[in-house]
């Protein structure tokens, strides 16, 4: 694989992703909530940050933009539909466009619902995708600015990717998502087995992401929803779930 990805835990449950493309040596930060831990990790690795990519405008995804740019001179790319809410953007992109990261290239996917202009970045050749807050391990983003139909369409788009696609989402929500998933699909044996593994990992203090498309197809109640109405029902139930 030509892209190496490093997980940086920040705030209470965010993950910032730091990636390096081996042929060019370019270094990318995806959704920097804060700057200091990102700059420190890059320095530790000897990686010179050249780009930041934002999936959406929420402060816990763009909060580190300005400080990282000031320190590195990097270029910041993000959703054109949310440019007014991300004043640090240098490059605006939308679904269907392609972005270079050294010798690699990502396809931008429009995945609105969590926010109106949310995007994802798919590296088909490397079989990885950065999804921000659209898809989580056994979960999906809250519908803050969009509809269940939009999120259902997003789930279908993502489910169509190869099973071995590695999914880099932005939060450690797996355990709480899984507790609801067990209620939504109590007879799903793959889900029960996964939750046992997740509980053990969290007990050891381990991260549970990235995940894969194949694993989500088997265990994610939102990706597995048969209709937009069913996804809406599940999303509403998860929003009020206390388990």
240 and 139 share a domain?
yes
* In-domain check, residue 215: yes
Q: Which of 58, 110, 122, 153 is catalytic?
A: 58
Number of domains in the chain: 2
DSSP alpha helix (H) spans, the chain: 36-45, 59-62, 65-72, 148-159, 174-184, 189-203, 213-219, 228-239
What phi and psi values does residue 180 have, to the nearest 5 degrees? -70, -40
DSSP 8-state class, residue 83: G
Q: What is the dihedral of CA 133, 137, 142, 147, to 10 degrees?
A: 90
**Span 62-100, pLDDT tens digits:** 999 999 999 999 999 999 999 999 999 999 999 999 999
**What is the secondary structure of 12-80 as a DSSP string?**
TTEEEEEEEETTT--EEEES-S-SHHHHHHHHHHT--EEEEE-SS--HHHHTTHHHHHHHH--EEEEEG
144 and 237 share a domain?
yes
Q: Is there a catalytic annotation at residue 61?
A: yes
DSSP 8-state class, residue 230: H
Residue 201 CB neighbours (<10 A): 14
3 and 50 share a domain?
yes
1 and 75 share a domain?
yes
* In-domain check, residue 95: yes
Q: Which of 61, 110, 118, 122 is catalytic?
A: 61
Q: Which of 31, 110, 133, 153 is catalytic?
A: 133
155 and 96 share a domain?
no
Q: What Cα–Cα distance (Å) separates residue 60 from each residue in 12, 45, 49, 192?
A: 11, 24, 19, 31
Confidence (pLDDT) at 243: 73
145 and 241 share a domain?
yes
> Can you tell me the distance from the alpha carbon of 49 to that of 51, in angstroms, rounded to the nearest whole number?
6
pTM above 0.85?
A: yes
Quick check: 17 and 168 in contact, CB under 8 A? yes
84 and 147 share a domain?
no
* In-domain check, residue 125: no
> Which residue, 90, 106, 122, sits at the end of a domain?
106
> Which residue, 86, 106, 126, sits at the end of a domain?
106
Q: CA nearest 94: which of 113, 115, 77?
A: 77
Q: Which of 31, 56, 122, 153 is catalytic?
A: 56
Q: Is there a catalytic annotation at residue 133?
A: yes
Q: Which of 31, 110, 114, 122 is catalytic?
A: 114
* In-domain check, residue 111: no
28 and 102 share a domain?
yes
203 and 102 share a domain?
no
Q: Which of 31, 118, 122, 171 is catalytic?
A: 171
Which residues have CB under 8 Å from 158's CB, separation 6+? 111, 120, 129, 131, 134, 135, 167, 213, 216, 223
* In-domain check, residue 121: no
Counting Cα atoms < 13 Å in the Cβ hemisphere of 22 gives 6
Q: Which of 60, 118, 122, 153 is catalytic?
A: 60
* In-domain check, residue 200: yes
* In-domain check, residue 118: no
DSSP 8-state class, residue 82: G
101 and 147 share a domain?
no
154 and 227 share a domain?
yes
* In-domain check, residue 128: no
Q: Is there a catalytic annotation at residue 118?
A: no
> Can you tell me the distance from the alpha carbon of 243 to that of 227, in angstroms, rounded to the nearest whole number?
25
Confidence (pLDDT) at 1: 59
Q: What residues pair up with 98 in beta bridges, in sequence order? A: 107
Q: Is there a catalytic annotation at residue 60?
A: yes
Q: Is there a catalytic annotation at residue 171?
A: yes
**CATH number for the domain harbouring residue 159:** 3.60.15.10
139 and 99 share a domain?
no
Residues of the chain with pLDDT under 70: 1
Alpha-carbon torsion 207, 225, 55, 34, what sign?
negative
Q: Containing domain of residue 152, as a range?
A: 134-243
> Can you tell me the distance from the alpha carbon of 21 to that of 3, in angstroms, rounded to the nearest whole number?
5
């Amino acid at each position: 694989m030509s892209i190496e990805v490093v997980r940086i835990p920040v705030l209470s449950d965010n993950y910032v992703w730091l990636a390096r493309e081996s042929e060019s040596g370019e270094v990318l930060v995806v959704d920097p909530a804060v700057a200091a831990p990102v700059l420190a990790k890059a320095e530790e690795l000897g990686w010179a940050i050249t780009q930041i990519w934002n999936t959406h405008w929420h402060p816990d995804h763009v909060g580190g933009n300005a400080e990282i740019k000031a320190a590195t001179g990097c270029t910041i790319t993000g959703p054109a539909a949310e440019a007014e809410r991300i004043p640090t953007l240098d490059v605006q992109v939308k679904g269907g466009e392609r972005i270079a990261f050294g010798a690699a290239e990502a396809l931008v996917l429009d995945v609105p619902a969590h926010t109106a202009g949310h995007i994802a970045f798919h590296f088909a050749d490397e079989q990885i995708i950065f999804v921000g807050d659209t898809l989580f391990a056994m979960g999906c983003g809250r519908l803050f600015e969009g509809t269940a139909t939009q999120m259902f369409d997003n789930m279908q788009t993502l489910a169509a990717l190869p099973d071995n696609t590695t999914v880099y989402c932005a939060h450690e929500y797996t355990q709480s998502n899984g507790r609801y998933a067990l209620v939504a699909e109590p007879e799903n044996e793959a889900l029960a087995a996964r939750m046992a593994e997740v509980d053990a990992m969290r007990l050891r203090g381990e991260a549970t992401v990235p995940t894969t498309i194949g694993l989500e197809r088997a265990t994610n109640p939102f990706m597995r929803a048969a209709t937009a109405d069913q996804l809406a029902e599940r999303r509403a139930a998860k929003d009020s779930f206390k388990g």
